Structure 1
Amino acid sequence: MNDFDTSKFVLAVICKRNYDWNQTRQSLRYTSTRQCVECQKAWGKEYRPRYYAENQDRLQRKAREYHWENRDKRLEQMAEYSKTESAKASKIKHREQNKDSLNAKTRKWRERNAEHVSSYNQKHYQENLEYHKQRSQKYRQDNQDKISTYEKNRRQQNRDFFISINRVYRQTEHGKLVRLLNEQQRKARKCNAYIPYTANDIKARFNQFEYKCAYCGKQESLTIDHVIAISKDGKDCISNIIPACLSCNSSKYNREVYTWYAQQSFFDEKRWAKIQELLFDEV
Structure 2
Amino acid sequence: MSQAHQARLMDGTGLARRIVEEASRRAAEVTRRTGTAPCLATVLVGEDPASVTYVRMKRNRCRKAGIESRQVSLPATTTTAELVDTLTALSADPSVHGILLQHPVGPRIDERAAFEAIAPEKDVDGVTLSSYAAMSFGLPGFLSCTPGGIMRLLDEYDVDLAGRRAVVVGRSAILGKPVGMLLLGRDATVTYCHSRTKDLPSLLREADVVVAAVGRPELIRGEDIKPGAVVVDAGYNPGNVGDVHFDSAVTRAGLITPVPGGVGPMTIATLLEQTVTGAERQLGL
TM range (shorter): under 0.3
The structure with higher relative contact order (CA 8 Å, sep 6+) is 2
- Structure showing the higher helix proportion among its residues: 1
- Structure showing the higher strand proportion among its residues: 2
TM, length-normalised to structure 1: 0.23
